[in-house]
Structure 1
Amino acid sequence: MATEIADRAGPGTVPEPPERDAFLDNAKFLLIVLVVVGHVWPLALVEAVRPAKGAYLWITAFHMPAFVLLCGYLSRGFTGRPDQVRRLLAGVLAPYLVFETLYTALDSAARDRPFALTPTEPTFLCWFLAALFVWRLTAPVWRAVPYPVPLAVLISLAAGTTTLGYDLALPRVLMFLPWFVLGLRLRPEHLARLREPRVRGWAPFVLLGAAVGAYVFAPGTNVHWTWMSQGYEGLGAGPVRYLLARVALFAIAAAMTAAFLALVPRRRTWFTGLGAVTLYPYLLHGLLTSAASAWGWHAPLLPWGLPGAALLTAIGVVLAVLLSSAPVRRLARPLVEPPLPGLTGRTERESRRRSSGKSDQPGTSEPRTA
């Protein structure tokens, strides 16, 4: 889902090229493609076709941990300054409220039931914006506490052994928390180690091995394990089995994320610029996949089996590119970057002052992100 998507006044605004890291933008775009592909596949097809389910488990095992890790990495400079909080409100909270309304309206129309907006209970993809808002606000806390990553892991594991409501997507906020905290603790030299020939040489075998494992275990695996939205009771597992499985999933996701990042191109590519605007395909594709699911647009492809899954994969890739394109961004900008009088303009001016070295705000400046 969209990585650190709002560390500026507007998540669709592409900063000047010198201020961006091609590697990070490449990683973000490739991850958003995986997000879109995973949502384009209907679960009925995933469950019916073993290779498709294996591929689905392979994707979901690491794509959100990788996204959240990059969110943390790109949040290293967040200290809670007023200008940073204003950008967070404009770039995360505002689109959250807009798309929470849109997703609720779509669901109401598709299922012919009354419109009932509950902003504290995120709908579909909006959970990530709610989680990002909470994670970002807590960034200063994780710099202050000792052993932040082990502590976040303990909180994540404990969350699955308790009964949590879905207010502010709390289960996912807590269960994905270690990846955000780990990202906060990473430094450029850590990512630079992934460029070493030895690491890059092993990376394809790690991803291939994970794919084989996903295929082998696909028939008896509940896909909700990788969603991080349910505790052990919802997954039908005992506490001990749940904890052991979660630790194993941590290890698998860490290995796959490292392998994926090791293979991401460091140079500028044709899709580098699209990695700067990942909030657009993230939020917009959900409207299309929700409509497809509600009105059965997938139905003709279900009997096709594996060829149908392959066709949907191609559709997902094309969709991710199209929804990142400039014409779509121009049309969707009022929704994805809703203007907030008195807030949006102020954050833009502060951003310009800081980039020119004239900001009077103390503290470390956070990285510019997409």
Structure 2
Amino acid sequence: MSHAPNVFQRAPLPTATRESEPAERAGHAVATATAAPPAPVVDTPSAHAPTKRRDAYFDNVKYLAIVLVAVAHAWEPVMDGSRITRSLYMVAYTFHMPAFVVISGYFSRTFDMTAPKVKRLVTGVAVPYIVFETVYSLFKRYAGGAPDQPISLLDPWYLTWFLIALFVWRITTPLWQALRYPLPVALVIALLASVTPDIGDDLNLQRVLQFLPFFVLGLTLRPEHFRLVRGRAVRLWSLPVLAAALVLAYWAAPRMRLGWFYRSSSVQDQGASWASGLLMTLAVLGCALVLTAVFFAWVPSRPMWFTVLGAGTICGYLLHGFLVKGAVYAGVFDRYAWLASPGGRIVVSAVAAMAVTLLCTPPVRRALRGVIEPDMRWAFKRK
């Protein structure tokens, strides 16, 4: 039986032939796929799954991306009044989520609706979503002092939006694989969604649809595309591109709403007309693609000390939100005002990076195995 590992986890080596929103709605994280020749991505392989070679590059991508996610979340309570921090936050938000979504699509290329892959989709994505959406809602209700916080599986809160988005993207993979021009179709859908304020909050469909082009892009990529982006020429060109992005972000920091990066609302909700909003949506999408390529170009392809942590990024993703929100609910950032100083922000960044690193370690992954990669053979028919 074929099993599909999770994008949060280490991915097998592809074969040569195939291979926050601040506070309430900020969600990030990570992705999954299917097993088969090109490494899949959904959750961690079960204990009885056959051992497969891992690609250090993709493990490194996932670990470094989850560190950026956690650090950016930790900046939210302390970045007011700091133009530099806000601009760095904008740059990080431009590409770290798109990078995860692209990798998710890349490792979903072999997904079909066969029973083994559907089982992995349920156990590796649907079950963790149900569990953590419930736990996060209870956490906000009792620790966050929000007694009216509902437990609704249709309205994902904070980090859990990505899991339900991944579920929707994954089950539509056969459709995108069948289309002749999937990427233009996905782009049109994303643009239409961005100018449709009546879509509502169910399943966070704005994000599902606006991030869709990145997932479909991942479905179209091949190993040679990643080799190309890691070439010397691309790396050299990426340096002035990154410098220009930082300068542009510094200029835009006091002028631009952060909602453009979260993609959780329509352009009208951002105070823009549909025409100017479409142009802004396209501009942000283009910047995201460019900076994602820059990020991919500089991720090391050789095994590093943190490579093994790529297998546990789902744990880091799902758990770090409790630390960030817990600190906010406990009044840590209000009590220790120095954390909003330049030195304090460095401390916050370092603590966030170290915390999410620890949450990605094998002991944490083993402790959560029953939730993030349950066996659940009892729930499915035997053949």
Match of 1:28 in 2: 62
TM-score (norm 1): 0.88
SS at match of 2:195: coil
2:227 and 2:46 mapped to 1: Cα distance? 27
Residues 88, 205 of structure 1: CA spacing in aligned structure 2 closer, same or farther, 3 A cutoff?
A: same
2:150 and 2:95 mapped to 1: Cα distance? 33
1:268 and 1:345 mapped to 2: Cα distance? 40
Match of 2:247 in 1: 212
Q: Which deviates further from its counterpart, 290-299 or 235-244?
A: 290-299
Residues 6, 197 of structure 1: CA spacing in aligned structure 2 closer, same or farther, 3 A cutoff?
A: closer
Per the TM alignment, residue 59 of structure 1 is displaced from its structure 2 partner at its CA by 0.3
Give 1:333's match in structure 2, choosing from 369, 378, 381.
Answer: 369
SS at match of 1:270: coil
Contact between 2:195 and 2:266, CA under 8 Å: does it hold in 1? Answer: yes
Give 1:57's match in structure 2, choosing from 59, 77, 90.
Answer: 90
1:1-370 pair list within 5 angstroms: 1-5=28-32, 7=34, 10-11=43-44, 18-43=52-77, 45-109=78-142, 110-114=144-148, 116-162=150-196, 163-303=198-338, 304-343=340-379
SS at match of 1:46: coil
Instruction: Tell me how large the CA RMSD over aligned residues is.
Output: 2.1
Residues 101, 244 of structure 1: CA spacing in aligned structure 2 closer, same or farther, 3 A cutoff?
A: same
- What amino acid maps onto 2:85 in structure 1? A
| Length, aligned pairs only | 346
Q: Deviations over 1:53-94 (max 9, x none)?
A: 001001001111111000000101101111101000000000
Residues 291, 338 of structure 1: CA spacing in aligned structure 2 closer, same or farther, 3 A cutoff?
A: farther
- What amino acid maps onto 1:277 in structure 2? G
- What amino acid maps onto 1:96 in structure 2? Y
Q: Which structure is higher in RCO with an 8 Å CA cutoff and minimum separation 6?
A: 1
TM-score (norm 2): 0.85
1:241 and 1:10 mapped to 2: Cα distance? 39
Q: Deviations over 1:164-217 (max 9, x none)?
A: 111111000000000000000001111111122111111222222211211111
Query: Larger % of helix: which?
Result: 1
1:341 and 1:215 mapped to 2: Cα distance? 52
SS at match of 2:269: coil
Match of 1:364 in 2: none
- What amino acid maps onto 1:171 in structure 2? Q
Q: Deviations over 1:241-277 (max 9, x none)?
A: 1111111111111110111101111111111111122
1:112 and 1:129 mapped to 2: Cα distance? 23
Residues 16, 286 of structure 1: CA spacing in aligned structure 2 closer, same or farther, 3 A cutoff?
A: farther
Contact between 1:5 and 1:278, CA under 8 Å: does it hold in 2? Answer: no
SS at match of 1:80: coil
Contact between 2:43 and 2:373, CA under 8 Å: does it hold in 1? Answer: yes
1:327 and 1:275 mapped to 2: Cα distance? 14
Residues 100, 132 of structure 1: CA spacing in aligned structure 2 closer, same or farther, 3 A cutoff?
A: same
2:355 and 2:271 mapped to 1: Cα distance? 35
Q: Deviations over 1:86-113 (max 9, x none)?
A: 0000000000000001001001102141
Gaps of 5+ in 2: 1-27, 35-40
2:283 and 2:126 mapped to 1: Cα distance? 33
Contact between 1:25 and 1:276, CA under 8 Å: does it hold in 2? Answer: yes
Match of 2:6 in 1: none
